[in-house]
Structure 1
Amino acid sequence: MSQLDLLQKRIHQEIPLSRALGIRLESWDGRTFVLSAPLAPNRNHQHTGFGGSVYSVAVTAAWGLTELALADLGLSGAVVIQHGDIDYRLPVDGDFYAVCRLPQGEVSERFRKSLARYGKGRLELVAEVFCGRPTRNPTGDACAVLSGRLVVQDARSKLSF
């Protein structure tokens, strides 16, 4: 089973809302994480994306990227969002997806050192939400942009279990 398949299963088990939202993990290349959601279970009375659903999808993208980055480092830990602000720019009028990237395309040395020294660290991440077919390199304008701070606590080697 691939890393994405394992995380997909875990997300649906540990975050029941993700199943109700229809979140599907699309891709992870070590730098960019993409997940998608259908409009139908996430629409509001205007037949556009409900703000809470859009926010939840964006937060899940940032959370998922942090989990995947930790796994790539051979670590696991407790990942939570500490702070998140979202800017709704355009209506979500169809199936949508979120793209979240590691800052400067990689896990920072500061983050790695903090995990190694203290078993905790934080990442400042941006998750952008777009309508249409999921891709790592969207060409249109983002419908929403989440700026979030994700915190990792109790980081430890996966080999220590």
Structure 2
Amino acid sequence: MSQLAAFQKRIHEEIPLSRALGIELHSWDGSSLVLSAPLAPNTNHQGTGFGGSVYSVAVTAAWGLTELALADLGLKGSVVVQTGSIDYLDPVTSDFYAICRLPGEEIPERFSKSLARHGKGRLDLIAEVFCGAPDSSPQADPVAVFQGRFVVQNARSKPSLQF
């Protein structure tokens, strides 16, 4: 089982809402995570994307990126969202997806050093939400933008091939 498939299984087991939302992980390249959700189970009374669903997909993308970045460092820890806000720019009118990227396309040195020294760290992330089929290089403008701070505590080495 690939790292991404194992992580998706873990997300659905540990965060039941992710299964109800229909979240599907598409790609992780070491600096960005792409995941999607269908519109049908995530609609509001107007037939567009429900704000809470859109937020949940975006926060899952950022939380997931943090977890995967930790794994790439050979670490496991407790990852939680400390703060988060979202700007809804346009209605979600179709299946949608979120992209979260590491700042500067790499794990920030300050974050890595804090994890090594103290077993904890903070990471500020942005996840953008787009309508349509998942694409790691979207041509359209995002329909929503999430900004959040994620805190990692109790970071420690993890056995390889374990999620």
Mapped to 1, the partners of 2:77 and 2:6 lie a distance apart of 16
Post-superposition offset of 1:47: 0.3
Pairing 1:46–2:42 present: no
Instruction: Report the counterpart of residue 21 of structure 2 in structure 1.
Output: 21
Pairing 1:88–2:84 present: no
Mapped to 2, the partners of 1:122 and 1:135 lie a distance apart of 28
Post-superposition offset of 1:29: 0.3
What residue identity is the alignment partner of 1:21? Answer: L
4+ long deviations beyond 4 Å: none
In the alignment of these two chains, the number of paired residues is 161
What residue identity is the alignment partner of 1:138? Answer: P
* Structure 1 length-normalised TM: 0.98
Mapped to 2, the partners of 1:159 and 1:72 lie a distance apart of 12
Post-superposition offset of 1:159: 3.0
Q: SS at the partner of 2:85?
A: strand
Q: SS at the partner of 2:159?
A: helix
RMSD of the TM alignment (CA)?
Answer: 1.1
What residue identity is the alignment partner of 2:133? Answer: R
Mapped to 2, the partners of 1:93 and 1:48 lie a distance apart of 5
Q: SS at the partner of 1:34?
A: strand
Instruction: Report the counterpart of residue 105 of structure 1 in structure 2.
Output: 105
* Structure 2 length-normalised TM: 0.97
Percent identity over the alignment?
A: 73
Instruction: Report the counterpart of residue 116 of structure 2 in structure 1.
Output: 116
